[in-house]
Amino acid sequence: MSGGQPAKLRIFSLNCWGIRYLSQHCVQRYEMIGELLSREEHDLALLQEVWSEKDFLFLKKTLASTHPHSHYFKSGVIGSGLAVFSRHRIHDAFLYRFSLNGYPYMLHHGDWFGGKAVGMVIVNICGLTAHVYVTHLHAEYCREKDGYLPHRVVQAWELQQFVRHTSRGADVVILGGDLNMHPQDLGNRLVRAYTGLRDCYTDTDKFDGCDEGVTLIADNPFTNKKELIPFEKGIRIDYILFKGSKTVRVKCESLTTTKGSFPGKPFPFSDHEALSAELLVERTQEAQDNEGTQDGYSPDALPELVDTVTEARMELKVGLHLARRMRHTAGRTGAMGLVLLLLELAIAAVPWLALGTEQPFPRASFYLLGALCLAVLLTALPLYAFHTAQVKALQGAEDQMSLAAGSLQEALRGRATTAGQQGELNSRATPGPLDPEE
């Protein structure tokens, strides 16, 4: 882009709810999604929960003429579910897997097996380098008793770190996906304040979609209504975030979302609503000051950022305390199983050491108790290892936040000192009232 007329970028984001054999009408919905993307010809389509590689390959074949460039991010046991389709050549791709992602024994939730992550692709659009990110954070499940909140805060922390450290030198930065967080949730504030990314919904000139921009609505027949209590209108957990650079101005001209059922279709595309944003990108002649510092955040946001990081640290300390308790319980249970197993072996050795002595316990009960002790030991050991890794991840994130909080507070004090010195200079430069005798 050589200047003059702004370039238009059309971005699409959707959680496809593509769990084969479990999600309703999965095959038909992917056909509908492919048809929509072929017709609309967005520059970039950022998809989540494409759990089956067969479905990705189907979309790749369907979109071969309109979106010839694509990348599927593989992670975890069943994959990250993240995919990008682009009209522009993808020059590079990278995946960062979050260090915490739920619990492996929570089989009915299944997030741990998905290997939640953030994927990045680098594309060149109209002469501009765009760093594009797609992500999917851990689900909430129960807002009143959210046992996954510390994990999601760590994911948000790692997400903002990844975006900040990999987007330096980019002309345009775009992040889309299912964050599983309300707009004012802690993790959401952490990501936006640290990176300087702006929300298409709050920054758009034109919006057409559900009230308050919600993307999980009661009118969608695939939605679990219990998840929306007490939010009658629904919740907004899917986002398209963006920012420019010192020499590139980015503006959201319009944002639209689907509204449950789609005209002419028997059912919606997914249990989430799809987002479609139109961005205006323009190279400027002069450097801008409103796109934040090299670190991403604006100096004016320092006080809010200090409070947000402090709040995040407190939340991680709560999660750390719980993780240590769970590790202690697993360790104590494993030790008990080991002691009982050793006692069983000692009893079993009695007939061998004292010839002629019979086994004091019935053989069937003896073997059953031994099997139970072994099962307890084999179950407790991996749980102890898992919770130890969880403690280390939480402690590591809290240590990083401690360093960041210290740096932010120092910057805040330096800014206050500079402002005080400037005020003192201004007061000295201002002439005082004249003495009547002079």
Name the catalytic one among 67, 88, 131, 272: 272
Q: Report how far residue 3's alpha carbon sits from residue 173's, in angstroms, rounded to the nearest whole number.
A: 19
Burial 38-60 (b: 16+ CB within 10 A, else e): eeeebbbbbbbbbbbeebbebbb
Least Cα distance to 34 among 47, 20, 52, 19 occurs for 47
Question: Does residue 42 carry a catalytic annotation?
Answer: no
What is the rounded distance in angstroms from the CA atom of residue 386 to the CA atom of residue 391? 9
Alpha carbons 181 and 102: distance in angstroms, whole number: 16
Cα–Cα distance, 411 to 363 (Å, whole number)? 72
Q: With H, G, I as helix, E, B as strand and everything else as coil, classify residue 85.
A: strand
Q: Are 384 and 327 in contact (CB under 8 A)?
A: yes
Residues 6+ apart with CB under 8 A from 325: none
Q: Which residues face 251 on adjacent strands?
A: 280
Contacts of 326 (CB under 8 A, 6+ apart): 383, 387, 390
Q: Is 121 helix (H, G, I), strand (E, B) or coil?
A: strand
| Omega before residue 436 within 30° of 0, cis | no
Q: Which two tokens stand for residue 109?
A: 């939730």
The upper half-sphere exposure of residue 43, i.e. CA atoms within 13 Å in the direction of its Cβ, equals: 18
Q: Tokens standing for 15?
A: 């959680």
Relative to beta strand 128-136, strand 117-125 is antiparallel
Strand (E) or helix (H) holding 13:
strand 7-18
Q: What angle do CA 320, 303, 188 make, to 5 degrees?
A: 55
Strand (E) positions, 219-303?
238-243, 248-257, 275-283
Sheet of 44-50, strand order: 69-73, 82-86, 44-50, 7-18, 275-283, 248-257, 207-208
| Contact between residue 150 and residue 143 where contact means Cβ atoms under 8 Å apart | no
- The catalytic site residues sit at 272
